[in-house]
Structure formats: structure tokens, C-alpha cells
Structure 1
Amino acid sequence: MYCTSCGEGLPAGARYCAACGARVKVPAAQAPVESIAPPVGYPAPSPNGSPPQRRTPRVRVWGASSPPAEQTAARRTGTIQRSRSSSDAPADTPVIGAPPVERSEPGRADGPWPLLISRDGWVYRSASGLALTITIISAVSAVAGLLGALWTFQAFASTGPWESGPDPEELDPAMITLAIPSLAYFFDLPLLIAWTRRVTGNLKPFGAELELGTGWAIGSFLLPVVSFWFPVRLWNQAWRATDPGLQPPVGWFYRSLRGRHLHWVVWALWVFMVLAERAFGQTRFDSVDELGQGLVVLGLGFAAAHFLLILLVRGLTARQDTYARIWAAAPLAASPAPPGG
């Protein structure tokens, strides 16, 4: 190391020349590097000197994105573009039949799943927990309905051919058993409302333009008149918007698809059973035979309604989670580089 003014040799680290007193100018390549702690959210520099890579959670928002060109063209022509096989789909588009993602629960930022979130802050969370609770309650109610109908049959089968019917007291076990699905209605209804709101809100992260929002998930069950068909509209909306052939952002393109007939059957049977139960409680039966027929209708109706409800909630929940697994596993755009990086 030498002085740039007089050329005198200097010891390492000297700031001034001992011969001429000039300030020593250190070349830029030899300037000491201060150790600065990285800002929050950035990892420490690697030992080989390469710039640090920013670690950000994988967040996917489809709400404000423009629709793909294929869907835009399909909307103009009124046709639907679907992937018939893996060879018809783009190379980076997951299709049904691809290897499963190593995660069974979507909606979290850790692991291979990105965080599915809409522009208004709705985070995708699977409705499987609510569906499981509804399944357990409905299964108990369906079994109770079948047992009530069987008890009624047994009471009539045990009577002789010369008797007009069984003693009304022999039908008490059947009536007590049928009270279980009647009480289960008060547990199923709030759970069904919460489940419907969840599957409706889960459409937002995929950019679906909803005909009926999450507020209708509550009002459609409680408001008179509209409660006869609005719950089915909400379920069909969630069913159509999670068609595996639709690529996010879904937009309003799902409205041209068909709903599921099971939704209409389930809700019509539920409305019928509610009205039949009220009519049964307000009717005075003239004979034991009429009472037994009413108990059999209630028992079989409760069993069918709750069994079909299990198929509805589990089918729609599985379809929505499958849709999330398919499109959430699609490649994400590269994260922007950190400031100054």
C-alpha cells in the first residue's frame, strides 16, 4: 500500500501518510464492507456473495385478473372450452388425473399450497369440517327415522287378524325415536347456513362474479317465500362455479353451466318434511291405523331427507376442494425482486 501523493510506503490500514501528511485514499475495490443486518422479511446474504432471495408467502389472487384468452373467446361464442385429456391442456395447467398434491387441506400458506385469497380479503377455507358435523347429525337422524318406521311396522305386525290395531301405547317408542330427527332440525339449520355461506364465499378467491353473495346464505333460509328456492340457487352457484373445466378467474362464465338436480330434490323433500311434521302435530287421528301410517311416512321421510342431505354437503364440499387442489397447484408468477436487489 503506497501514498497516492508522494509514493511513500504505508502500513496496512493507515489513514494518513507519515511522510507528507496527505489523507490516504483507499481504492473502491479495497474499501471495507460494513456488515448491515438485512431488513425484516429478507434472509441473510449467502456466503458466496450472491444476492439474497426474498421469501414471501405464495399468495394467489384471481379476483382482479383478466380472464384467459380461451375463456374470453368462449364467452363470445357461447361455447365451453374443456380439457378432454392431459394432451389437450397447456403444459403448465394441472388436469384431473395428475399426481395428487401432497396436502389434503387447502387454504394455507405453508407447504405446497398457496394462500387463496380474494381482493376483499376472503380466504379460502375448506368446508369439510362443517360438512362432517352435518353428516354425523344427519346420519343419527336418518337411523332414528328408520327405527321409528320399523317400530311402527312391528307394532302392527304383532296384532292379531281380529284386532283393529295395536294399543296406542305400543307406538310410544316409535314416537320418541322420531322426535330425534325433529330436534335435529334445530341443529342442522344453523350448520347448513354456515356451510352454505362458506362454500359461497370460497368462490371469491377464484374470481367468480356471484349472483347471490354470502349475505344471501343467511337470508335465503330465514326470509319467507324466497326460502323455497334460494338455497338451491346458492348450492347450484357453488356447483357450477367449481367446474374443473373452468380456469380462474371464473368471472360470470359459470352461469351457462347446469346445476345439480340433487339439490332440488333435497330441498323439496326438506320443505315437505317440515310441513308434514307440522301437519302431523296438529292432526287428530280417528284411528290407530291412521296414526301408524303417519308415523311410517314421517320415519321414512326423515331418513330419506337426511341421507340425501349427506350426499349434498359431502358432494359439493369434495367438488370445491378438488377444484382448489387443481388450480391452486398451478405455477405462480415469480415474486418481484426486493427493493435494491
Structure 2
Amino acid sequence: MPVLTRLVPAPLSVDVRAGALEHLTDLLAERRISANGGLALVVSAGTDERLRERVAPQLPGARWFPVEGGSLNAAVDLADRLRTGTFDAVVGIGGGRTLDTTKYAAARVGLPMVAVATNLAHDGIASPVSILDNDAGRGSYGVPAPVALVVDLDVVRAAPPRHVRAGIGEVLSNLSALADWELAGAVAGQTVDGLSAAFARTAAESLLHRPGGIADDGFLVALVDSLVMSGLAMTVAGTSHPCSGACHEISHALDLLYPDLRGLHGEQVGVGAVFASFLRDDLALAEALAAALRRHGLPVVPTELGLTARQFTAAVEYAPSTRPGRYTILEHLAFPPDRLTDAVEKYVHTFGG
């Protein structure tokens, strides 16, 4: 008899609450991730010592591995250091750069990885992707998703508000990415996975008109849930398509062309999502996304990212080269420079004030 369902790897546990960090040992034992404390704890070299003091007494036998996260070299170096010990699992504690570094290193040495997120800047907290700087700029690397996720709301509230708000832009950009994926299905014959799309769309729509903000625990929990669903969407699809389209191509281009002006990923993809929706002539979606971003104090036009219209235009022109083989509205329109300049100027005029 044929198997008519599919198995989807998903976290064993998602613990989101105030004080969750104090229950880390219980989670590891109850989920049989590690019962004897044979753990590698990866933290940013700049991690607040108070955070480390909260974790250390629970896991006296663990080894600590500080990292300067965010690069492929750092991740490979971490993997080499992990090979010097015997561990049940790797626990990454930090923001997106630290968690992406930890995910890649854990995959390289074949260990399960637990993510303890200290901010909610992007969906890397639960995704099967590591975004790492490399010699060519920045790349996306497929890795196993974390086996468990811990988000202590007390810790998140202590993070810079900008780093928490950025996660809203990351989630909302799913709607633009999905439109690009559907375009790729209709024009380029790519397969669009309906279950994956449902996860990604539900994640974004749950925040699009949601009242409240990052000062509210209920909103923070909803944001974490949306980030987790985005991670599941990518896991189901086996690709980042449901959460990464022209919006992410533009963000990667900005990182490569203007590294000294690099903004937060979630901020950049939010702007990219509104602009891509504008290019598709989907003004209803563009306006809804722009309204949601403005409501949470996130940028909508290039100047709010610290960029000129000319710089943004150059990034949009360069963007398709950051993801060869991906088909989005940028590849579909393939605007020459003069038409692209006009499109950016019209976009700024429409949404700039």
C-alpha cells in the first residue's frame, strides 16, 4: 500500500514564556536531548554575562564555546572545536548570527542543535537555513532545523527593540515571497508546495493586521509562533522559496553592495516586500504591508534604511544575481536601468510620506 502522507521534521519542543531559560535543563531531559549535561553551549563573544550566569548553574558539566558569529569561517572553526569533545547536543544562545553559525557547525559534526533565541530579528530561530558571510559576500546553507526552541520573553524584552521589530518585517515578507513563488509556478513551471505555502501565509497573515506591538507578551508570542511557522514552511518545501523571493534578493544585494550601510535583515526584506508587491501592481498588498510596517516603526522606503533612491535602484538591479535560478518579479520584468530608475522613483513618491 502506498504511503499517502509525508513526515515533516519539526521541533520536539517550542517553549515560549517568561522565565523559560530557567527550565532549559528540564526540556533537555524530558525530550531526551541530553540527560547527563554533555552539552556544548555556543554563545556570542559579546553575550551579556548575566545571561550566562542564569544558564551556567543548570549545566555545570557543559563546555562553553564563544564565537564571533555570522561567517562561514566562524562556523567551520566552531565545528572543528566541537570535535575536540563528546557531546549529546549543541545549544546555541543568542541572536540570528550566533544561531546560524551554531546550526551550520552542529550539522557539520552531526549533532542535534537547540536554539535559545535572545531576540526575534528573523526566522533563522527555527529554519533549516543558515545565512553566513563568505568570501563572495553572503550565502544560504541548508542545515537541519533546531530540534527545540526556547524563547524567554524576559530576555527578549531586554533586547534592543529594533532587533525584535525586525522579525515582523521578516514574517510579513512571506506574502511577497509567496507571490513570487506562484509566479515562478505559472511562468517558469516550478512546483509550488501548497502545504508549505499555507504555513508561510498563515504566519504572515497572523501579524498583518494584529493589534498591539512588541511591548505586549501576547504579540511577542504571536511573533515567535509566526517565525516558527515560517521555519516549518521551509522545512516542508525543502527550500526557502515560501519565505524568500525578490524581497530577500534585494536584501542580499544591499548587504553585498553597501556593507557599511547594512541594516537589519528583517528591515530590508520588509522594504523589499513592499517594493516587489508594487512592481507586481498588487497595490492592495503593497499598501497593507506598508501600513503594517509603519504601525510597528519599520522602514518602508529606501531613505528610511539610510539609502538614496539611486543606491536602492543599484541594489534592485544587482539582486537577481544573488540567487541564480530563482524566478521572481525582478527576473520576470527584467527592467532595463532607465525603467528601473523610474519604478523606484514612482515607488518612493507613492509610499514616501
TM-score (norm 2): 0.23
| Higher helix content, 1 or 2 | 2
Which is greater in Rg? 1
Q: Which has the higher contact order (CA 8 A, sep 6+)?
A: 1
TM-score (norm 1): 0.23
